[in-house]
Amino acid sequence: MTMTRAELHERSLYRRAVEAAIWGMPAVNYDAMYQALVRDAHGGPNQIVYWSRLLDWKNQTLTPNPDAVYLMPFYDTTDGPVVLEIPPAGEGSITGSVDDAWQCALEDVGPAGIDAGEGGKFLILPPGYQQDPPDGYIALRSSTYSGYAILRSNLGGGTADDIADAVAYGRTVRFYPLEEVGDDPQTTFIDAADVLFDAEIPYDATYFEALDRRVQAEPRLTRDKAMIDICRSIGIVKGQPFAPDPATTEKLTAAMREVRAWVDDRYEQVYETPFYADTRWALPASPALIEASTGNYGNPETYPIDDRAMSYSIAFFSAKRLGTGQFYLMTVRDANGDPLDGSSTYRLTVPARVPVTLYWSATAYNRATHTLIRGVPWASRSSHRPELHSDADGSVELVFGPSPTAGGEGNWIPTRSGEQFEVLFRFYGPTPPLFDKTWTLPDIQLVR
């Protein structure tokens, strides 16, 4: 069959839009959070957006942790290096990582980071920075001008005072341009506790507007040279405005429908290789991606952008050393292999002696958006929560469902009828029994 030039162009546009979207997922994910900072929290670069209480559903980033106090410094080194001061652990501690705009970890900070809990002045350097960093700083070389840090101020317990203490400790972080060092630099904190901070991935033509913003703002990376012409063919050209006509916009929107179906199918495939044999729990990141992203994709023989797109369609940030400060297991199905349904009631038995030095938590998210379920009174339960009830043997029975069981509100994690959900189980300060699997997390059981 002979195709016309117009037909060939349409097919090429669609195909290349799909490939560009898969490649650009972590950058668009970052851009969504940055736009929320500016649009929703009225903040800007080289400022810290933070939450002065535990997160609720108004934080619509991808799979955030509602059992820690969050601080997110967003850096821009266009005009020079930026300093991030992490306080020493003592009255509190931070589990955190500094990532570039492609969400590659520059370094971890806090007790599980390079400072080993002693704190320090981290100096984030722009691409191509040639000067010798001044003494007394831990230099972090970023491959992009912009990026962010995800800092979790850990709780000592679950009381209001514990939360207030974690907030106060988090606010001892300092963040400012290096050029202001001699002028009593000030840190700008923006409280987003009451803000609808909407950072969902946009699965329509606006996805490519976000990708274009990142292409315009950041330097070309050698590993991505093959994407230059692919982006050009859909109208994303460095130094030129992105202005698709209505016909192109229609094709881009259709391509994003396929991308959404594609990443969802890849996400389902994650659970075909469970963390524990014959269970439904899995780590939602492939070993190849973990190795590549922690090494800034330095191995020329591998570039797992398919795995990367899947992971950054459901979550944000990467750690330099996953498994040191935190570890994650996720599930979308019950013990019978059926999708978790927000209209039903389920039980998860958490065995005693969970292998952590800090705390564990279980959180329910909207399966379709991977964000906290909108409108629920809370989204999780953690070992810190004073209302959590333990059985005589030390185990904990968590209940997921649209309403609590009789007398069981303290162990209840609300879901929303008419929506599927997913559960992320977090281990903060994980210990060897998790990894040698002498301690195992059982599947979620349908009750009714």
Domain end residue (candidates: 253, 273, 293): 273
CATH number for the domain spanning 358: value is 2.60.120.600
**Backbone dihedral angles phi then psi of residue 333, each to the nearest 5 degrees:** -135, 155
Same domain? 70 vs 157: yes
- 108-116 LR contacts (CB < 8 Å, sep 24+): 108/319, 108/320, 108/321, 108/324, 108/325, 109/84, 109/149, 109/151, 110/86, 110/151, 110/325, 111/325, 112/321, 112/324, 112/325, 112/326, 112/429, 113/86, 113/320, 113/325, 114/138, 114/320, 115/86
Same domain? 88 vs 180: yes
Kindly report, residue by residue over 90-147, the tens digit of the pLDDT: 989 999 999 999 999 999 999 999 999 999 999 999 999 999 999 999 999 999 999 9
What is the spatial distance between Cα 107 and Cα 87, in angstroms, rounded to a whole number? Answer: 16
Same domain? 152 vs 222: yes
Question: Who's near 368: CB < 8 A, 6+ residues apart?
Answer: 419, 420
Q: What is the pTM of this model?
A: 0.95
Identify whether the C-beta of residue 111 lies closer than 8 Å to the C-beta of residue 120. Answer: no
State how many domains the chain has: 2
Identify whether the C-beta of residue 144 lies closer than 8 Å to the C-beta of residue 101. Answer: yes
User: By percentage, how much of the chain surpasses pLDDT 70?
Assistant: 100
Domain of residue 388, residue span: 325-446
Kindly report, residue by residue over 399-426, the tens digit of the pLDDT: 999 999 887 899 999 999 999 999 999 9
Residue 370 belongs to some domain of the structure: yes
What is the spatial distance between Cα 390 and Cα 411, in angstroms, rounded to a whole number? Answer: 9
Position 215 pLDDT exceeds 80: yes
Position 183 pLDDT exceeds 80: yes
Same domain? 109 vs 234: yes
Provide the β-strand partners of residue 45. Answer: none
Kindly report, residue by residue over 303-349, the tens digit of the pLDDT: 999 999 999 999 999 999 887 888 999 999 999 999 999 999 999 99
Say how many C-beta atoms besides its own lie within 10 A of residue 401's C-beta: 23
